[in-house]
A and B are shown apart, each in its own frame.
Chain A
């Protein structure tokens, strides 16, 4: 529940309590940084990302009509990619979130990781999807806080 003590997950994010699923809060001095931490928090649900080497690099470009949809698509991209190629990402660099050509928002990023190897990587819980449930994108004192629920 909002306001409840969550589990500290790292500097840029933490997990809040939600009965069925995983409720994430991610922070950043910029929107880009908050999105990077949101991605890291999502991958941490699946495995210990500190053991994942950034050997495979991928460029990601997505567009969406608002910040909420952009966050949804950004995380969906990473979740789907894991199902398709087995690659789990541990490094996220968002070059920028800017106004898109058709009035929405555009995100450009480079992510890096490697194929999940059960011998070396802890198997935590698979993430099925990101949801819009209780999704929040808040700007406060120049910083950003994101909240979202992952279906696991």
Chain B
């Protein structure tokens, strides 16, 4: 592994100087404690961070967050902001799973009261929400025209059709509908891949979890987010845009791979393929990407609907009486036009977040009015059997990370290594012994996602909290998991 020079700037702040390689336009900036940085040295994370620093029009630094790990082209757990006019847009800086993200629902149910029925809830969820390899929803099929409208309009389209409450869309990033979605920019294949997959969880690290509040660090902020007491039951939905988004990324990666020469862009890795922000190729990608963003919002919206139905069926109350309100819905893989201060000047920039969560501080106009005093809710899912965290966006995120925090634990073991170390059946049994029900169709997937294969999520969250980019608000522990 090529050694990448690092200068320690502060306790949790490291820099890769531009002198490391010719062509770096800005330094690499890595946020991590000593143990996390050691982990990053073990793969290509830091090298990839320095590659991102080559992007034309990039501002300040290429950011790698505490959960950073090796991806393809861009590291996962990274942020790059490029100039509105002179910068580039890179599909790889968003990733294949466009708007992979997390939605959190709160309830007014106490975990002790749910205990006798939790297995029943999990089984109904497992039945209603298609998960796993090739998951398709047979009862909920759209035709191509409907799919085009859905990706243009986002979550509100489903809500108008009875799959949600009127207030749901307003409780999502972008109000559940990213502007600029243009279905004409989608390939036939992207539409085909999307048709059968609205409302499915998919496989890999995606999950649907019933949790209980395990610790509250900031009672006032927690209350603002609807988290009132220990043992309160919450539901977390982690999924993205499925094959639809993957195809959009693939399509435009190929397009931009073919235009690099035309636009005289040279980069150290083919997966960084990009196009000037004002070029037709970049505009087309944005139109298609927004469709995939909306597809993912709809995906989490329909899962929300089936979660509410499942709770109603098992517990026998109308879902409104149990809460099941959306706290917020955040994207992990997205590119957005935002305004950030760079060297004292307000600039419009394309913020690419790949495995990163927007974490706007108190007072931001972009977040729902009721959160403007507390900061934007951020959810950092743990791994199966470990805690997930609720954070609140904090002021230093604007200075350090273009308004971002980490998105998860970040892998430390490859899937092959995890399979050598764990067996799915054992993982399931040991979680059961700790009171966690896990339902899945894939025992191999269970081994791959064993919590030992990931970084310690607490450590990742603690770095965020210390840096003041995302403040720890509450910790959630799983009770039941439907794993994709």
Question: Within 8 Å CB of B204, what residues of A?
Answer: 125-126, 128, 152
Structural contact, A133 and B73, CB atoms closer than 8 A: yes
0/1 string, B234-271, CB within 8 A of A gives 1: 00000000110011011001100110000000000111
**Complex CA distance for A21 and B74, rounded to whole angstroms:** 13
> Which of A16, A122, A124, A152 counts the most chain B CB atoms within 10 A?
A124
Question: Within 8 Å CB of B412, what residues of A?
Answer: 19
- Interface presence of A83 (CB below 8 A): yes
Could you say which of B193, B249, B254, B442 contacts A80, with CB atoms under 8 Å apart?
B193
In the complex, chain A residues 40-75 whose Cβ is within 8 Å of any chain B Cβ: 46-47, 65, 68-69, 72-73
Structural contact, A133 and B43, CB atoms closer than 8 A: no
10 sampled A-B residue pairs with Cβ under 8 A: A6-B416, A17-B414, A65-B258, A83-B196, A123-B132, A123-B444, A124-B442, A125-B203, A126-B132, A151-B96
Minimal Cβ-Cβ distance residue in B for A46? B133
Structural contact, A123 and B445, CB atoms closer than 8 A: yes
Could you say which of B247, B415, B419, B420 contacts A152, with CB atoms under 8 Å apart?
B415
Instruction: Classify chain A's interface size.
Output: 35 or more
Minimal Cβ-Cβ distance residue in B for A83? B243
- Interface presence of B63 (CB below 8 A): no
Structural contact, B415 and A86, CB atoms closer than 8 A: no
Contact segment of B64-72, B141-149, B152-160, B343-351: B64-72
0/1 string, A1-36, CB within 8 A of B gives 1: 100001100000001111111110000000000000
Structural contact, B415 and A126, CB atoms closer than 8 A: no
Minimal Cβ-Cβ distance residue in B for A17? B414
- Interface presence of A76 (CB below 8 A): yes
Could you say which of A1, A7, A116, A125 contacts B444, with CB atoms under 8 Å apart?
A125
Q: How far is the CB of A18 from chain B (nearest CB, A)?
A: 5
Structural contact, A18 and B70, CB atoms closer than 8 A: yes
Structural contact, A19 and B43, CB atoms closer than 8 A: yes
Q: How far is the CB of B317 from chain A (nearest CB, A)?
A: 33
0/1 string, A77-108, CB within 8 A of B gives 1: 00110111010100000000000000000000
Known: A1-B43, A69-B257. A125 touches B445 (CB 8 A): yes
Question: Within 8 Å CB of B136, what residues of A?
Answer: 86
Structural contact, A125 and B448, CB atoms closer than 8 A: yes
Which residues of A does B touch, CB under 8 Å? 1, 6-7, 15-23, 46-47, 65, 68-69, 72-73, 76, 79-80, 82-84, 86, 88, 116, 118, 122-126, 128-135, 149, 151-152
Q: How far is the CB of B391 from chain A (nearest CB, A)?
A: 23
Structural contact, A84 and B445, CB atoms closer than 8 A: no
Q: How far is the CB of B378 from chain A (nearest CB, A)?
A: 21
- Interface presence of B173 (CB below 8 A): no
Known: A19-B414, A123-B441, A151-B95. 7 other contacts (CB 8 A): A20-B414, A80-B243, A122-B444, A124-B445, A126-B134, A126-B204, A132-B73
**Complex CA distance for A149 and B44, rounded to whole angstroms:** 14
Q: How far is the CB of B24 from chain A (nearest CB, A)?
A: 19
Could you say which of A19, A83, A125 contacts B193, with CB atoms under 8 Å apart?
A83
Question: Within 8 Å CB of B57, what residues of A?
Answer: none
Known: A19-B411, A69-B254, A69-B257. A131 touches B69 (CB 8 A): no
Question: Within 8 Å CB of B246, what residues of A?
Answer: 79, 128-129, 151
Minimal Cβ-Cβ distance residue in B for A22? B415
Question: Within 8 Å CB of A21, what residues of B?
Answer: 71-72, 415
**Complex CA distance for A21 and B72, rounded to whole angstroms:** 9
Known: A19-B43, A123-B445, A129-B96. A86 touches B70 (CB 8 A): no
Structural contact, B416 and A126, CB atoms closer than 8 A: no
Question: Within 8 Å CB of A84, what residues of B?
Answer: 189, 192-193, 195-196, 243
Structural contact, B415 and A132, CB atoms closer than 8 A: no
Structural contact, B133 and A124, CB atoms closer than 8 A: yes
Structural contact, B134 and A116, CB atoms closer than 8 A: yes
Structural contact, A151 and B72, CB atoms closer than 8 A: yes
> Which of B193, B250, B444 counts the most chain A CB atoms within 10 A?
B250
Q: How far is the CB of B17 from chain A (nearest CB, A)?
A: 25
**Complex CA distance for A114 and B70, rounded to whole angstroms:** 34
Minimal Cβ-Cβ distance residue in A for B187? A80
Question: Within 8 Å CB of A122, what residues of B?
Answer: 444
Question: Within 8 Å CB of B15, what residues of A?
Answer: none
**Complex CA distance for A14 and B193, rounded to whole angstroms:** 28
Q: How far is the CB of A121 from chain B (nearest CB, A)?
A: 9
**Complex CA distance for A47 and B43, rounded to whole angstroms:** 28
